[in-house]
Chains A and B, each alone.
Chain A
Amino acid sequence: MNAKDSEELFLEKVQGILDHGTKNLGSRTGQRLEEIRGQALMAAGEKRSRFFPPRHWVLVGSFATVALAAVGLFLWLSPSPPPPPTGEIEDLEIITSQERIDFYQNLDFYRWLGSEDNHLRPNGKGL
């Protein structure tokens, strides 16, 4: 028998003795261990009940992903609105600009005034 076999035999014997001891801990110790296990499981249950269990988080996450994908697909497949007419864009620029609105109301008058000025003073000099 070589040294390795001898060591294996020794370890097997040690394991056997230790296992035998573990099976015969005594009823008091066995009961106390069961109580401890029960308390630990109860603590685990309390902790779990505060939030969704992990399984439920997976379900919630899956539902959210599917809903997001459905909304994205709907938006992608829905027909795009026709391009707005040019006049509407100009109106939008006027509405959103910082200029006062009466400036635009009098724009034709200013144009006319400008053309009259140029007509009256072709050399560009003042009065």
Chain B
Amino acid sequence: MESSLDSKEMMNRFLAEVERRAFQMAKFATRNRDEALDLVQETMLQFVRRYSIRPQQEWKVLFYRVLRSRITDWYRRTLVRRKILAWLGRPEEEDPEDPLQNLPDTGNPDPSDHVLRQEQRGVLEKVIRDLPLRQQQAFLLRAWEGMDLKQTAFVMKCSEGSVKTHYSRAVHTLRGLLEGNRS
């Protein structure tokens, strides 16, 4: 059935599957909705131009490899911009929050559960955002995307040993902060 689908439709399905997580990852790194959307756009364009002819089972790691590369580029550019702004004595840009993001989810049958989840989500997202970039990426790729060590190392362009180190440090930090926050 899958093989009979048009390649464009298969690509559409794949992108629809990864776009929201990709956006979240980019937002964790940039802390800015618009910057995150720009990164997802750059990633999708670069991915379809370069890798759409590759076998479908390779798409996921290739997509996240492009995304990671775009995020790292963005990070470098931002560091330079921040240094220049600091040297000029100007304040850093504030991160505008998306007001629609805080609207209640009408599809959720239990409002109290929704509030609890929103609170947990807020805390968790803050803790993930505060992780160093490499730890953040290793954690999200391993724990959220479910990639194995080899795939994560490929995406992050580093050794499997480095992935292990970043991931275990991230888990340690997250557990410490979240459990401390709960108590």
Contacts and interface: CB of A to CB of B under 8 A. Distances in A.
Contacts of B53: 54
Contact of A33 (B8, B12, B20, B100): B20
B19 A29 contact: no
B62 interface: no
Contacts of A40: 15, 41, 44-45, 47-48
A16 to B, nearest CB: 9
B178 to A, nearest CB: 8
Q: Lowest 10 CB-CB distances: which A-B pairs, in order?
A: A40-B44, A44-B48, A26-B100, A26-B101, A22-B20, A36-B41, A37-B15, A33-B19, A21-B121, A40-B48
Interface of B: 7-8, 11-12, 15-16, 19-21, 23-24, 33, 37, 40-41, 44-45, 47-49, 52-53, 98, 100-101, 103, 105, 117, 120-121, 124-125, 143-144, 171, 174-175, 178
Given A15-B143, A25-B20, A29-B37, A41 B124 contact: no
Contacts of B121: 17-18, 20-21
Given A17-B124, A36-B40, A41 B12 contact: yes
Interface residues of chain A: helix, strand, loop or mixed (majority): helix
A86 to B, nearest CB: 61
A29 B19 CA distance: 11
Contact of B175 (A10, A39, A45): A10
A14 B174 contact: yes
Chain A interface residue number, banded: 20 to 34
Contact of B100 (A27, A36, A47): A27
A69 interface: no
A11 B143 contact: yes
